Amino acid sequence: MEARVAQWIGRRESQQDFYVVRSYPRGMLAIVCDGMGGHANGELCARVAAEAFGRSFEENERGSVAERFREALSAANEAVGGVVARTGQFGGCTLLAAFVAAGVLWWVSVGDSPLFLWRRNRLIRLNADHSMRAVFEEFVQSGIMSHTDALAKGHELRSALTGEPVPMVDLPLTPYFLLPGDRMIMASDGTDELLQVVPLPRATRALLDNRSGSLAAMIVQACEALDNPVADNTTVITVDV
């Protein structure tokens, strides 16, 4: 089991995504934090959140992975609060963390960064979307709004790490079972135009099924090829089971 990582700054002035990947004898931890765009401390908040989460997870070896994730998330949020307090400027970030071990997957997420599973020619989103896009998708189902409009207008977050109480957390208490051939994909929302299109184009399906090289790199290259003039920071971590 090996993680592959790729990043692209997009059309932004700075890279506000930050990631951590660490391997242990019993599994692998991966973290993606996306600094909240437009805020001066977004880049710093993403970094301190990811580092604090990883440090807490490593230091706290008691309890289940879900219990360790809960404590690590609290440490990450407290670290972001420290940045806000020191600088006197509002900031924050999303957080997506996953632990993969022996055919099982745990995750915790706050915000809109997606956790996907590519399985038998299907792309399945596993974690919750804490953005307004998830609300607008209900309008899509009822025919009031198009899927394209929901993607374009739904980036406002309903939950993020800011140092304040976190209103929405996705933290399953039991692991998700993986199958041979599964591909886990963690990403920041810079991949939305590629991976959250419905229906998923045939070219994207072929890309996700291509095992000739780094899937993370291929996804980032495909995002670049879209040539979006307002493309967001993009980070992708993939793990093949």
Q: How is 182-218 classified by DSSP, letter by letter?
A: -EEEEE-GGGHHHHS-SSPPHHHHHHHT--SS-HHHH
Say how many C-beta atoms besides its own lie within 10 A of residue 27's C-beta.
Answer: 17
Residue 114 near residue 129 (C-beta atoms within 8 A): yes
Helix intervals (H) in the chain: 42-59, 65-87, 132-142, 147-153, 192-195, 202-208, 215-225
As a whole-number percent, the residues of the chain with pLDDT over 70 amount to: 95
CATH classification for the domain delimited by 3-240, as one of 3.30.9.10, 3.20.20.80, 3.60.40.10, 3.30.413.10: 3.60.40.10
Residue 135: band (very low, low, confident or very high) from pLDDT cuts 50, 70, 90: confident
Query: Cβ atoms within 10 A of the Cβ of 182, count?
Result: 19
Contact 183, 239 (CB under 8 A): yes
Quick one: three-class SS letters along 95-106?
Answer: EEEEEEECCEEE
Q: Residue 134: is its pLDDT beyond 60?
A: yes
68-116: per-residue pLDDT in tens?
A: 999 999 999 999 999 999 988 889 999 999 999 989 999 999 999 999 9
